[in-house]
Amino acid sequence: MEEHYVLGLILASLLGFLLVYALFFKKNDRRYSVEAVKSNTATTTTAINGECRSRNGAGDDVDVIIVGAGVAGAALAHTLGKDGGRVHVIERDLTEPDRIVGELLQPGGYLKLIELGLEDCVEEIDAQRVFGYALFKDGKNTRLSYPLEKFHSDVSGRSFHNGRFIQRMREKAATLPNVQMEQGTVTSLLEENGTIKGVQYKTKTGEEMSAYAPLTIVCDGCFSNLRRNLCSPKVDVPSCFVGLVLENCKLPHANHGHVILADPSPILFYPISSTEIRCLVDVPGQKVPSISNGEMATYLETVVAPQIPPELHDAFIATVEKGNIRTMSNRSMPAAPHPTPGALLMGDAFNMRHPLTGGGMTVALSDIVVLRNLLRPLRDVNDASTLCKYLESFYTLRKPVASTINTLAGALYKVFCASPDQARKEMREACFDYLSLGGFCSEGPVSLLSGLNPRPLSLVVHFFAVAIFGVGRLLLPFPSPKRMWIGARLISSASGIIFPIIKAEGFRQMFFPATVPAYYRAPPVW
Residue-wise pLDDT for 367-390, tens only, equals 999 999 999 999 888 889 999 999
**pLDDT tens by residue, 188-208:** 999 999 999 999 999 999 999
Task: pLDDT band for 409, please (50, 70, 90 cuts).
Answer: very high
Task: pLDDT band for 28, please (50, 70, 90 cuts).
Answer: very low
Is residue 341 within 8 A of residue 197, CB to CB? The reply is no
Task: pLDDT band for 397, please (50, 70, 90 cuts).
Answer: very high
pLDDT at residue 19 is higher than 50: no
pLDDT at residue 439 is higher than 50: yes
Mean pLDDT of 38-55: 35
Q: Residue 473: what pLDDT?
A: 93
Mean pLDDT of 464-490: 95
Mean pLDDT of 79-100: 96
Rounded Cα distance between 350 and 332, Å, is 11
Is residue 359 within 8 A of residue 412, CB to CB? The reply is no
pLDDT at residue 31 is higher than 60: no
Task: pLDDT band for 522, please (50, 70, 90 cuts).
Answer: confident
- Nearest-Å Rg of the Cα atoms of the chain is 24
Angle between helix axes 456-475 and 2-26 (nearest 10 degrees) is 130
Q: What is the mean pLDDT of the chain?
A: 89
**pLDDT tens by residue, 316-346:** 999 999 999 999 999 999 999 999 999 999 9
Q: Residue 60: what pLDDT?
A: 52
**pLDDT tens by residue, 289-314:** 999 999 999 999 999 999 999 999 99
Mean pLDDT of 464-468: 97
**pLDDT tens by residue, 143-158:** 999 999 999 999 999 9
Is residue 208 within 8 A of residue 62, CB to CB? The reply is no
Q: Residue 54: what pLDDT?
A: 39
Is residue 133 within 8 A of residue 260, CB to CB? The reply is no
Mean pLDDT of 123-146: 97
Task: pLDDT band for 249, please (50, 70, 90 cuts).
Answer: very high
The full length of the chain comes to 526
Mean pLDDT of 244-256: 95
Is residue 448 within 8 A of residue 458, CB to CB? The reply is yes
Q: What is the dihedral of CA 221, 222, 223, 225, to 10 degrees?
A: 60
**pLDDT tens by residue, 159-179:** 999 999 999 999 999 999 999
Mean pLDDT of 27-53: 34
Rounded Cα distance between 404 and 106, Å, is 14
Is residue 176 within 8 A of residue 22, CB to CB? The reply is no
Strand locations in 193-312 (E): 195-203, 208-212, 215-218, 236-247, 257-260, 267-271, 276-284
Rounded Cα distance between 143 and 133, Å, is 6
Q: Residue 526: what pLDDT?
A: 59
Q: Residue 520: what pLDDT?
A: 82
Q: Vertex 262, ends 257 and 263: CA angle to 5°?
A: 155
pLDDT at residue 17 is higher than 80: no
Is residue 23 within 8 A of residue 499, CB to CB? The reply is yes
Percent of the chain with pLDDT over 70: 88
Is residue 114 within 8 A of residue 105, CB to CB? The reply is no
Rounded Cα distance between 411 and 415, Å, is 6
φ, ψ at 33 (rounded to 5°): -135, 165
End-to-end Cα, the chain, rounded Å: 64
Q: Is 132 helix (H, G, I), strand (E, B) or coil?
A: strand
**CA 146, 151, 153, 159 torsion: positive or negative?**
negative
Contacts for 84 with CB less than 8 Å, ≥ 6 apart: 178
Mean pLDDT of 345-360: 96
